A = this chain, B = another copy of it.
């Protein structure tokens, strides 16, 4: 592996770690350089200034996390055998993503810089949950057992019901137990089915 891109990757990884841990203002370029095991000058060699460093690191971290999010969709079979079971499995995967510390830290970081960088928010929404909703809508629309007028809205309802409570407690000091987690997701999915299943 060539030297230059390796340095750049190390810088972005370190920057993501420090920015996520400290927030934009509290993060220092010195610490990032030290963590990347690189001279500060090298950082400024790759990225013009702290701002550019932040945006690039955020972008990279988002891509990484978002891949997991979209991968959850593979959990959802094209032709579900046991619909409730499959939906619960998918809902767990989806809700589980929201518990990932990197995800919650990224959300917080985005939130705190939302005023200065509104494009971060819209990009996150469109490429993240918005994308998940669109893809999920496509799949739900094909399930004949469901009566769905507006697939995108139904997808949102599914996401809301399966993840609301988990997100609610995601920032809590002590995470919900596996039992609470499963119950929250399971009950959410069951409510979704009562609202959308033809014979429920």
Binding site for B on A (CB under 8 A): 21, 23-26, 107-109, 111-112, 114-115, 118, 121-122, 125, 129, 150, 153, 156-157, 159-161, 164-165, 168-169, 171-173, 184, 187-188, 191-192, 194-196
Contacts and interface: CB of A to CB of B under 8 A. Distances in A.
A110 B32 CA distance: 25
Contacts of A184: 153
A158 B107 CA distance: 24
Contact of A111 (B108, B157, B164, B165): B108
Contacts of A192: 195
Main secondary structure of the interface of A (DSSP, over half): helix
Copies in the complex: 2
A111 B103 CA distance: 13
Contact of A21 (B26, B115, B172): B115
A186 B191 CA distance: 17
List 7 A-B pairs, minimum CB-CB distance, nearest first.
Answer: A112-B112, A25-B25, A160-B164, A194-B195, A160-B160, A111-B111, A195-B195
